Structure 1
Amino acid sequence: MPNLHVIVASTRPGRVGLPVATWVARAATEHGAFDVELIDLADHALPLMDEPNHPRLRQYTHDHTKRWSATIDRADAYVIVHPEYNYSFNAAIKNAIDYLHQEWADKPVGFVSYGGISGGLRATQALKQVVTTLRMVPIVEAVPIPLVGQHLNDDGEFVPSEPIAAGAAPMFNELFRMHQALAPLRKRD
């Protein structure tokens, strides 16, 4: 079964991203098309890019980069769960993406965004420009979550509304379809 990484892009204390990503990972597991891993950027603690060589060379010198490379390399598809900060994406996800190059290529990516009234859609649009440069394939199907704070219960768990929950399956379907189409490009000697 292909491997889907659900990446928690926010590392801020008190973030909403982890409960949202936990729901996404659970929904992806229930969907059944992927083996699902929840990847929390806070657990990787990547410093601001500190590798001396360009990532396309894959000549990593730091153990944190080698671990990050191995993590990202084993995925067949991604869902990036991200906030919107000032009409764009947050610095932690940009840094995590920039650490690597080849590991991202020819893999589909979906987005679950959250924020205020826009649901993070502006951040998703900005992030799509970044991922296409690395030959990732952003899919159209996405799950924007407007007014995300209204979807947290008293225990801090994310409880999606019916329309938000209904948006997940089409995203997973398209990720699986694109994974199948792109898999031959990822064959390595």
Structure 2
Amino acid sequence: MSTCSKCLPGYFLKTGSPNECVLCGDTAKGGIDGCAECSGTTGSLKCTKCKPNYNPSGEETNLTCTKVCEDETACGGTAGSCGAIVVDDDGSMKHYCSYCGESTKFPIDGICKGDSAKGSNTCDKGVCTSCTTGYFLYMGGCYKADQPPGNLMCTAAAGGICTTPTGQYFKVPGAASTDQSVLGCREPPRHDGKW
């Protein structure tokens, strides 16, 4: 057989020449955003299970999956963004604030906090642009290296730069305190200036 006719769970059959099995959540190839399991094929695709950190709504056989933060109010509601993904010890992904919906709040340790909590970290208009000693910059926020969720990515930081990443993260060579200094092993680099 030279073409797919059936796919494993978590994939759908995209008809064409040749047919191919595509991840249910692959929106670039016709999948559904946030979908972990689906039924049907191109044109009749329906989501039956959402990915972690996505809220399901609708009918069980035709779900809509909406991305949520660990704390839905932490990033300023729908005006904010919970695009900072942190991989937990058990491999699960948690979503934290990468942008705060209120311009006077900033992502510190993954939660939008006011001026008093930002300390010596440099933050403005809902994001942080550099971090102080003991903190490191990650996806628009400053994270303390010796407490969760920061210590899931990095266990030591100096001058606003991660110096000792954990096993599922690596240091970005040549990063300054104004740069993200740690990346997840499967994390794409930032291209558009936003997380």
More contact order relative to length (CA 8 Å, sep ≥ 6) = 1
Q: TM-score, normalised by structure 1?
A: 0.23
Larger radius of gyration: 2
Structure number with higher helix proportion: 1
TM-score, normalization by structure 2: 0.22
Q: Which has the larger share of strand?
A: 2
